[in-house]
Amino acid sequence: MNFNFAWLLPVIIGLGLVLLLALAVRRRRPPRRDNPLLALQPTLPAANDEGQEPPPAAPAPPRAAPEPAAREHSPAPEPVPTGMVLAEIAIMLLSPVGDITYASPAACRLFGLAADELVGKPASRLLPPWRQGELVEELASHHPGEWETQRLIQHNKLIDVHLISRPLADDTGQPTGGRLWCLWDITQQRRQEGTLRLAGRSVDLLHEGVLISDVARGNLIVYANAAVERITGHAGEEILGRKPRFLHQTVSAHPAGAEELRQAMAERRSCHVILHQQRPDGTLFWHEISLTPLVNDQQHATHLLFLLRDVSEQFEFIQELRCREGRERTVIEQAPIAICIVDQEHRIRTVNPMLERMFGYDAEQLLQNSLFTLLPEVVWHDVVPEPPAYERRGGEFMLQNRRGEKLTVLASAVALKEPDDKPLTALFLTDITGRKRTEQALAEAKERAMVTLAAIGEGVITTNNRGVVDYLNPAAERLTGWTREDVMGMELDQVFDLRDEESRQPLSNPVERALRLDRTVNITRRALLVTNDSREFSLQITATPIHDRQQKIIGAVMVFRDVSKIRVAERRMAREAKYDELTGLRNRREFNALLNQALAAASEEGKEHVLGYLDLDKFKIINDTCGHDAGDEVLKQVAELMQAQLRNTDILARLGGDEFAILLSSCPMEAGHKIAEQIRRALEEYRFTWHGRAFELSVSIGLVQLQADSGTLDDVLKAADTACYQAKEQGRNRIQQYQPQASQGSAAGALWQDRIRQGIAENRFTLWARRSRILSSDQRLPHYYELSLTLRDDQGHYLPESSFLPMAERHQLIMDVEKWKISTLMARVATTCDPNKVYALKLATMALQVSEQLCPFILQQAERCGLNSKNIAFEINETDLTANFTRVKRLFKALKKAGFRLTIDRFGYNRGSFGHLEELAVDFLKLDAGITNSLLENHVDYILAETVSRVGQLMRLPVIATGVDDASLLAAMEEMKIDYVLGEVIDPGRPLEEIISRSTQDRVYAGSEPGKTTLPVQ
């Protein structure tokens, strides 16, 4: 918007003249001539640079000493503060957006900036942060404004500024949105006003006599307040303009105080004395004098301040007390209770130190004052003895001392008489606040204990020292089936039927044992409570004896907790430790233990057994085509089918994935071969159907005879694995008996070993990267790249990792492959500085089993390459997580500490994995491809995917969906608020080196917006 500023010149001149006239008329009110500020102003500190007022001075009632020349003339009005002329009014123009479009020379001087440093800059930077919001509101309105603010200018100096703001208008009078600012510096004015206010308040608070003498004028008195005349008897006219010699004139026989005051005045230092003097009318008086020098910035004394206080009454009263009291005073002062003696007018005559401490007053503040300054009148009437009997009365009362503390006192009073028969009353106050607090605390503790016992989930039963029940909390009532009223007076054995979980035999009473042994008794296992309504609960029990202060047993408390669900979970976990969760077969650990027993029996007893290693053929086709649901169903059906072919004494186990093992006890090889053939034939005839599609399945079996000389567990497992591999190499769907001469493997196996070793040595492996598409609107999410490994053969073809990783695992080369992947990835990523990219590398299953070796290697490589750890994420399959949870947890903790990101791949099928998320502190969740591919047809998979997305949102974990290759799936992912999607159409992948290379990346994505791939519609 263009502004025509030609019309502003007359407006500015007119407004300046108006402001000048207003400032000239608005004169400050002249200060009172009796204000001590007139004497002290040259030496009092000004406001600090932050505009804050100085701390208040000592209180003093104001009355100034007029100068001789000023006594005959009324004070002239003070002039208008300097600087308030038109030339010093800063003028600035603001655009509608708040930018400065014009700044007058006065504005430049005001802010200490050149014109080019102001014009074109936002006006908000001239205001403190708390005023900037007002500027925004002002620009949005068309109303004039006037306010004061602060501005930090050059040299970090904070000044006060008065600002008048007017809206700008065009030739027609319509607001243009800009503003006219007129500003001037009022810093000095504010400081002087603050100093005046502080000094005035301080003086108003003083009740003592105040004298001020001017050192530069020969120490002449320049100020005296009315209290000086009252205390000394000298009129103000007699004091002002004289030296303060009369202050150190004394009638005392010990003039040390007067000499000290005289010396302090000469040396201009502080002192405090008490002098006995005589007034002009002849009366004697005692008064305190406090001398304080007032110094300037150079620490030179410019004035002397004298504070006077008449203490004659205190001296006379003290003398009277010393004469009339005596030994009684000693008794009163040493009394452990507060004592106060009052006369018939309720004036306090005597107090002891205990009362002073109790109420926070000094004796001088209380004596001769009304008793009702200490306690309410109603309390006095409740405790004062009444004639004619004058019997002692009292009670408990709530009082408040000077410090605001609430006191509970036990008050009583007795009537006394003075020698002249004047009645007195002695009031005795005992502070029982501590006792009351203790009683209150005990009552509250008891109430809290009762509320806690009623609220906790553990059952609590208390008994006396004979084992008779005297209390049950609500949880105990719920668990035992008894009510508190029913069991009062009953023995615990009648209420608590405790049995052994396994034998069902009665268990000994834990309370009886705790009382007999005088120690805590714990029952943590095998305790089963049978209630009176035949319900059963597994319990953990603790019984503890209760002692009194003399350590005598007075009863016992028994706390018990329902652990039925925990026991069920323990039994389930014990079973899961031995059995495969999916198929119900024994797992690898349990099978190895049974196999060790069989080897021991073969060695010691000469028995023969047969070990079989079974690997399903064509299982991967089903799992990849139909998803993990179909794969799991196949495994369960196959397990049932194979179990049906075995004898009752035979053992079938799932070792992992699609690998099984059988242990045929007391079985020669010929019989074992027949059983294996039955299994093979059954699977050959088996057809698996999934959503209308039928799949064939077969099995390759390797058999090993277990004899006395078969060797160790690893030997026989390796032999069975080798035989199974030979069966696969010979065409699959067959049985191969282990032959020792073929133990080094087939030629094909050796060929794969050479290929893998050659690939590592010659860098024939390539890290292949697929870029995900971000669906989330969260701009903080990094770009996520999924990495896989390929092997280039002699013809230059890239072989997928599924073709050689199983061979690497079989021939113990997987760690070499993993180390190549990790070291290569880190070396490549270390060359890029883009923090907005994450490269995710999947860790092999067998590598996790040796994570103790893998983790140090990862950390060592990261340190050697000097990369940003947040650029790399490590992926672990959900199946590997559940199977190796302890190892994975340790590995994740170390990697997380080093700054790496963590991803759980193929997440969603195992419900137990949801509970591990907080423990593992992962960064990404990758949805299982089987769920993604079938969620449009399978309602359960849709709900499962939606659940994973919801969990990710709640835990702030980005969710990645894989296998998204059509528009309908993409729409479903967007509806579920999935954060990332991966698919062959989105990005088929390319070598990692191309992704990292910026020039190559620009060339690859030329002509298309990254992450915006168009998907085909089904």
Looking at residue 436, its pLDDT comes to 83
**CA separation for the pair 573, 562 (Å, rounded):** 19
Question: What's the average model confidence in pLDDT over 777-788?
Answer: 90
Band (545; pLDDT cuts 50, 70, 90): very high
Residues 275 and 346 in one domain: no
Residues 301 and 333 in one domain: no
- Each as own residue / partner, the long-range contacts of residues 467-475 (CB below 8 Å, 24 or more positions apart, any chain) are 467/491, 467/492, 467/493, 467/509, 467/511, 467/512, 467/515, 467/556, 468/492, 469/495, 470/555
3-state secondary structure of 272: strand
Host domain of residue 155: 90-189
| Region of poorest pLDDT, from 500-514, 660-674, 683-697, 740-754 | 740-754
Q: Kindly state whether residue 452 falls inside one of the protein's structural domains.
A: no
Concatenating the DSSP letter of every residue in 421-461 gives: --EEEEEEEEE-HHHHHHHHHHHHHHHHHHHHHHHSSSEEE
Cβ–Cβ < 8 Å for 842, 905: yes
Residues 804 and 953 in one domain: yes
Q: How many domains does the chain have?
A: 6
Cα angle vertex 445, ends 442, 448, to 5°? 150
pLDDT for residue 67 is more than 50: no
**CA separation for the pair 770, 787 (Å, rounded):** 6
Residues 935 and 850 in one domain: yes
| The dihedral sign for the CA sequence 68, 69, 75, 77 | negative
Eight-state DSSP code of residue 506: B
Q: What's the pLDDT tens digit per position in 157-192? A: 778 888 888 888 888 878 888 889 898 888 888 887
Residues 658 and 800 in one domain: no
pTM of the model: 0.36
Query: Which element (helix H / strand E) includes 498?
Result: strand 497-500
Looking at residue 645, its pLDDT comes to 93
Q: Alpha carbon 313 to chain centroid distance? A: 61
Concatenating the DSSP letter of every residue in 121-133 gives: SBGGGGS-HHHHH
994 contacts: CB under 8 Å, gap ≥ 6: 1000, 1001, 1004
| Region of poorest pLDDT, from 336-350, 444-458, 813-827 | 444-458
Q: What's the pLDDT tens digit per position in 381-426? A: 777 766 654 555 667 888 888 888 888 888 888 888 877 778 888 8
Nearest C-alpha neighbor of 34 from the set 79, 75, 78, 72: 75
Looking at residue 774, its pLDDT comes to 92
Residues 179 and 241 in one domain: no
For all residues of the chain together, what is the average pLDDT?
79
Residues 821 and 708 in one domain: no
Q: Kindly state whether residue 951 falls inside one of the protein's structural domains.
A: yes
Q: Kindly state whether residue 450 falls inside one of the protein's structural domains.
A: no
Which of these three, 514, 546, 569, is where a domain ends?
A: 569
Question: What's the average model confidence in pLDDT over 336-349?
Answer: 86
pLDDT for residue 16 is more than 60: no
Q: What is the CA radius of gyration of the chain?
A: 49
Question: What's the average model confidence in pLDDT over 754-778?
Answer: 87
Residues 301 and 358 in one domain: no
Name, of 109-113, 257-261, 319-323, 956-960, the range with top average pLDDT.
956-960
pLDDT for residue 565 is more than 50: yes
Residues 226 and 360 in one domain: no
Cβ–Cβ < 8 Å for 871, 835: yes
688 contacts: CB under 8 Å, gap ≥ 6: 622, 630, 633, 634, 637, 694, 695, 696, 697
Q: What residues pair up with 285 in beta bridges, in sequence order?
A: 277
Looking at residue 53, its pLDDT comes to 39
Question: What's the average model confidence in pLDDT over 608-633?
Answer: 85
**CA separation for the pair 934, 648 (Å, rounded):** 39
Domain of 225, CATH number, reads 3.30.450.20
Q: Kindly state whether residue 704 falls inside one of the protein's structural domains.
A: yes
Residues 827 and 867 in one domain: yes
**CA separation for the pair 125, 132 (Å, rounded):** 8
- Give the ranges where 849-914 is alpha helix by DSSP (H): 851-865, 878-883, 885-897
Band (33; pLDDT cuts 50, 70, 90): very low
Concatenating the DSSP letter of every residue in 737-753 gives: E--GGGTT--HHHHHHH
Share of the chain above pLDDT 70, in %: 83
Band (156; pLDDT cuts 50, 70, 90): low
Q: What's the pLDDT tens digit per position in 193-231? A: 777 677 655 655 567 888 899 988 888 998 888 888 888
- Give the ranges where 5-52 is alpha helix by DSSP (H): 8-25, 37-40
Beta strands in 207-353 (DSSP E): 209-214, 220-224, 271-278, 284-295, 301-310, 338-343, 348-351
3-state secondary structure of 613: strand
pLDDT for residue 141 is more than 90: no
Share of the chain above pLDDT 90, in %: 14
Q: Kindly state whether residue 1017 falls inside one of the protein's structural domains.
A: no
Question: What's the average model confidence in pLDDT over 849-867?
Answer: 83
Question: What's the average model confidence in pLDDT over 977-986?
Answer: 90
Q: Kindly state whether residue 593 falls inside one of the protein's structural domains.
A: no
Here the tokens at position 182 are: 């007129």
Q: Kindly state whether residue 19 falls inside one of the protein's structural domains.
A: no
| The dihedral sign for the CA sequence 463, 466, 467, 470 | negative
Cβ–Cβ < 8 Å for 103, 115: yes
For residue 810, what are the CA distances in angstroms to 353, 658, 717, 846? 93, 14, 12, 10
Here the tokens at position 1000 are: 């190559």
For residue 9, what are the CA distances in angstroms to 13, 145, 183, 642, 687? 6, 20, 17, 103, 98
Looking at residue 500, its pLDDT comes to 86
Judge if the upstream peptide bond of residue 388 is cis by omega within 30 degrees of 0: yes
pLDDT for residue 452 is more than 80: no
Q: Kindly state whether residue 69 falls inside one of the protein's structural domains.
A: no
629 contacts: CB under 8 Å, gap ≥ 6: 909, 930, 934, 938, 941
pLDDT for residue 660 is more than 90: yes
